[in-house]
Structure 1
Amino acid sequence: MKAEVNMKAFEEAGNELTEKYMIPGTSIAIAQDGEAVYHKGFGFRDVEEALPITPDTVFGIASITKSFSCVAIMQLQEAGKLGVHDPVIKYLPEFKIKDEEALNKITIHHFMTHSSGLPPMSSLMYAMKRSMDNDPSVPNYPGLEIDQDGHGPIDTYGELMQYIANQEFELLGTPGTQFSYSNDAYALLGAIVEQVSGQSYEQYVYDHILAPCGMENSFFTIGEYGDYDNITTCYAEDASDGTKRIISAPIWWDAPSMRAAGFLKSTAKDLLKYAEIFRNAGIVNGNRILSAESVKEMTKPHIQVQPGRYYGYGLMITPDYFGTKLVEHGGALKAISSQLSILPEKGVTGVVLTNLAGVPAARLMQLALNAYEGREVGASHISFKEYEISQVLLEQYQGEYQSNEGMKVALEFREGKPVLSSQNSDIPISFVDERTFVAHVNDSIEIAEILVDESGQPYGISYHFRQFPKAGSKQPV
């Protein structure tokens, strides 16, 4: 009864959050020890037709796909076809960067942990260019500042590797030392899967992960669903007339050369089956998908992302989440904000899927897990003490920071208070030490760090899991 009361409290809080962010439809599900125990659909999969959301409603999952790519790599390692510490060029000799010495040191492990040193690039947008060119809702995508005509479509792995080879950049650091989220690295994991398995990346995932897990409604393209119609409509935010409203934006973005980085579609029911890999030491429905040792490697904290938070293989790891281990990953793309969370020591798995970009799916998952576990719905596992940062440091830090992925932020201070500007909005921030600050974004907390060189001069910000160079910095990208 206690859990039931708490879930009612979550539904009140969840309803407030979905209304606040005008989310057309949200699917939230929780399983305990592999058995689905809760599902709630807020809103609709199709607002105009008032079609309900069920556990079988299809949504995009975006970057949750990355863990599937790592499962594939680990399976191929178990089969003796590759090793995660092998150099990438052993399998992709076409992969080139200007720094040939560093090139030889970049391993599959570095790709899987976003620690290759590759900076954020514009390639994802060019990989999606064909679908974006046909989509009138492109201007409604939040935070996109890329010259759409700056490059032709990147349709193949070969074209992606050629694009990277042509870029002028210095690595962010020696391979293995710097974390910065890289869709390019994950796209090329798909190329490695193809090279080693002899199958297309998509077919490999279907045959070796989706089918044995019993994920019947998970595909990479909408066309593969045939006459299955329990699929969400895509939505976007429109404020062109000065008033925020949500509009139907039915074109799904695709990127054949980047599917391994974030283009799988799935359902709450299917993702709870998939999550069993990480809850149940690699076994789903009696089928061994991965060895227990491979699961352990995937959920190991390989490199720090933020204080108290790490990256494994395709998964974020928080060793102390209310006293237990949290394994998770989110996703964001047009009409997608998603979250998959696993508490393996508690036997709990959960998923949140929505049909709108830029909304707090992770926070909804936190609220649901809080309620399910009997905590205050709004509880947080982290707390910070504000640090009084000096005006001198603030003046050094202020300025514009931009990544080549098209994301831009600005750090400034007004009336002596630091403010982060992003996506045409001001985000209140609080410093917790000389270089670390907390940003309060979309009812969630993001931890960011000012990056400084050997002389203490700021050259970038680590924010939203990426390194943003400071405008005018000596650090090229």
Structure 2
Amino acid sequence: MPGEPHVFGRPYISPDRISYPRTIRHRRTLPTVHATFQEVTRVESEELRARLAEHAGRQGLIGAVLAVQHGDETTEAAYGVLDKEFGYPATIDSIFQIGSITKVWTATLIMQLADEGLLDLDTPVAHYLPGFRVTDEAASAAVTVRQLLSHVGGFDGDIFDDYGDGDDAVQRYVDALAGPARQLFPPGSQWSYCNSGCVVLGRIVSVLTGQTWEAAIRERIAAPLGMTYLATSPAEAIRHRVAMGHIEGPGGELVKAPIWGMPRSNAPAGATLTMAARNLLAFARMHQRLGLASDGTRVLSQESAPAMREPQAEVPGDGPLADHWGLGGSCSKPRAGSSSATTAARSGSPRCCAWCPSGTSRSCSSPTAAGSTSCTNSPGCWTSWPGPRCRRSRWARAIPPPTSRYGTRWSAR
């Protein structure tokens, strides 16, 4: 999504070290602001509220909500306002967009379908979507579901075209990919953050369930987890206390963003899914409990939940996303012995993020972030992992990074 880092290419192998191709990221409207939340053991609500106010105020956040679960105890706190113009106070029931964490929800739906025997991760996408096409016909026929989950499909991921608000929005988006979705490299050969691939996964969910992606989210994830403060569209969001995004104005002050969310056609990649911090926490805890909801309801199989956190592809460079990508999200090794789960939301950008470590095992970083996290007032949530990074393996040959069709909007570092 705009604001997300995009990293391309295999490493360049020199005689004495590994040099990675340049990291390319979108320019952000606002500068990155780092807010580090201390690892939580057990805190009372007043203490948590004071900590949140201190950090949020220091970073200039308009509003924020924080939910922490330690063992069976959940603590929540709110700070500031949801909308600078009207001053609506943030409460623990306020809902925030979760942005690209949506990708892990879409991946969870895909893994549910695999659990039910309706889908095989290593089967080509074209088997489930016979009309699927990008610009490269051979790649269109070869790319697999697993490759889309792990962002190694190889085609252009920055396609945000609007196909309306109808139930066919995602279908129309996928049907049109043959035009704009250039193949940047062969499937499986390199990693590149891919929004459009996640929309294709959302279309597979619709075809195999006979539901819209939004209906599948509600029936297959939200309902079993007992979620009430959740919206899948702007029309649903306005029935709740919803956070508004803000950007930097001409004079440097924060002003309300001109749009609230991205088109419905991008929903499976992270356009409109909005919820209270406690709901995202429940989702993260479900993954931590190996697919079980708090009441014992089985949402995901005991095999699929940890499989989503297993590395599938290496992420080149030393960017903020961690060093590997799993089935739906980035993964990195957290600090040993940690058992807390944390969710944070803030209304500079109306995004919500969660950190859910699992002892010494690997932890998926797209139901990730707070606990030891960096959040900003601009779109996107950046993860700062507390644990050691995995040793990188050497790849066989160097391939230069391709150029995106949005290349003129990117800056290199």
TM-score tier by shorter-chain length is: 0.7 to 0.9
User: 1:105, 1:245 → 2: CA distance?
Assistant: 49
Match of 1:100 in 2: 137
- The answer as to whether partners of 1:314 and 1:329 remain within 8 angstroms in 2 is no
**Cα distance, 1:24 vs. partner?**
1.0
**Cα distance, 1:294 vs. partner?**
0.7
Provide the secondary structure at the position in 1 that maps to 2:236. helix
> C-alpha deviations, 1:423-476, integer Å up to 9, x for none?
xxxxxxxxxxxxxxxxxxxxxxxxxxxxxxxxxxxxxxxxxxxxxxxxxxxxxx
Distance 1:57 1:330, change over 3 A: closer
**Cα distance, 1:10 vs. partner?**
10
Provide the secondary structure at the position in 2 that maps to 1:252. coil
> C-alpha deviations, 1:11-35, integer Å up to 9, x for none?
55x6565345532111122112343
Match of 2:323 in 1: 309
**Cα distance, 1:265 vs. partner?**
0.6
Match of 2:116 in 1: 79
Calculate the TM-score normalised by the size of structure 2.
0.72
> C-alpha deviations, 1:329-348, integer Å up to 9, x for none?
99999933432211122899
**Cα distance, 1:117 vs. partner?**
0.7
Alignment of 1:297-446 (within 5 A): 297-306=307-316, 309-321=323-335, 335-345=349-359, 357-358=377-378, 361-362=381-382, 381=387, 403-405=404-406, 408-411=409-412, 420=413
State whether structure 2 residue 268 is matched by structure 1 residue 248. Answer: no
**Cα distance, 1:89 vs. partner?**
0.3
State whether structure 2 residue 73 is matched by structure 1 residue 35. Answer: yes
User: 2:206, 2:190 → 1: CA distance?
Assistant: 27
Aligned-residue Cα RMSD (Å) equals 4.2
User: 1:225, 1:19 → 2: CA distance?
Assistant: 26
> C-alpha deviations, 1:371-418, integer Å up to 9, x for none?
xxxxxxxxx5469xxxxxxxxxxxxx9xx996334673445xxxxxxx
Q: Bigger CA drift: 181-190 or 343-352?
A: 343-352
User: 2:95, 2:312 → 1: CA distance?
Assistant: 32
User: 2:91, 2:407 → 1: CA distance?
Assistant: 35
- The answer as to whether partners of 2:61 and 2:348 remain within 8 angstroms in 1 is no
User: 1:401, 1:23 → 2: CA distance?
Assistant: 36
**Cα distance, 1:159 vs. partner?**
3.2
Q: Which amino acid aligns with 1:127?
A: D
Provide the secondary structure at the position in 2 that maps to 1:282. coil
**Cα distance, 1:253 vs. partner?**
2.0
State whether structure 2 residue 130 is matched by structure 1 residue 118. Answer: no
User: 1:2, 1:297 → 2: CA distance?
Assistant: 27
User: 1:401, 1:87 → 2: CA distance?
Assistant: 24
Q: Which amino acid aligns with 1:165?
A: A
Match of 1:202 in 2: 214
Match of 1:294 in 2: 304
- The answer as to whether partners of 2:323 and 2:332 remain within 8 angstroms in 1 is yes
Q: Which amino acid aligns with 1:29?
A: A
User: 1:343, 1:213 → 2: CA distance?
Assistant: 19
Of Structure 1 and Structure 2, the greater strand share is in 1
Number of matched residues? 352
- The answer as to whether partners of 1:336 and 1:355 remain within 8 angstroms in 2 is no
Distance 1:109 1:328, change over 3 A: farther
State whether structure 2 residue 228 is matched by structure 1 residue 216. Answer: yes
1:231 to 242, 254, 270: 242
User: 1:295, 1:10 → 2: CA distance?
Assistant: 32
State whether structure 2 residue 280 is matched by structure 1 residue 279. Answer: no
Provide the secondary structure at the position in 2 that maps to 1:95. coil
User: Unmatched 5+ residue regions in structure 1?
Assistant: 132-152, 367-379, 384-396, 412-419, 421-477
- The answer as to whether partners of 2:61 and 2:347 remain within 8 angstroms in 1 is no
User: 1:199, 1:294 → 2: CA distance?
Assistant: 22
Provide the secondary structure at the position in 2 that maps to 1:83. coil
1:269 to 278, 285, 307: 278
Distance 1:47 1:99, change over 3 A: closer
Match of 2:104 in 1: 67
- The answer as to whether partners of 1:64 and 1:329 remain within 8 angstroms in 2 is no
> C-alpha deviations, 1:27-58, integer Å up to 9, x for none?
1221123431x323232123345433232111
Distance 1:295 1:287, change over 3 A: same
Distance 1:361 1:194, change over 3 A: closer
Match of 1:53 in 2: 90
Distance 1:46 1:334, change over 3 A: closer
Match of 1:109 in 2: 146
Q: Which amino acid aligns with 2:279?
A: D
User: 1:331, 1:406 → 2: CA distance?
Assistant: 30
User: Unmatched 5+ residue regions in structure 2?
Assistant: 1-39, 390-399
Match of 2:64 in 1: 26
- The answer as to whether partners of 1:34 and 1:273 remain within 8 angstroms in 2 is no
**Cα distance, 1:97 vs. partner?**
2.5
Distance 1:189 1:260, change over 3 A: same
User: 1:8, 1:102 → 2: CA distance?
Assistant: 54
Match of 2:394 in 1: none
Match of 1:432 in 2: none
User: 1:157, 1:28 → 2: CA distance?
Assistant: 32
User: 1:327, 1:305 → 2: CA distance?
Assistant: 25
- The answer as to whether partners of 1:318 and 1:325 remain within 8 angstroms in 2 is no
Larger radius of gyration: 1
Distance 1:49 1:98, change over 3 A: closer
Identical aligned pairs, as a percentage?
A: 24
**Cα distance, 1:181 vs. partner?**
0.8
Of Structure 1 and Structure 2, the greater helix share is in 1
Flag the structure with more relative contact order, 1 or 2, with Cα contacts below 8 A and sequence separation at least 6. Answer: 2
**Cα distance, 1:86 vs. partner?**
1.1
Match of 2:35 in 1: none
**Cα distance, 1:76 vs. partner?**
1.0
Distance 1:2 1:56, change over 3 A: closer
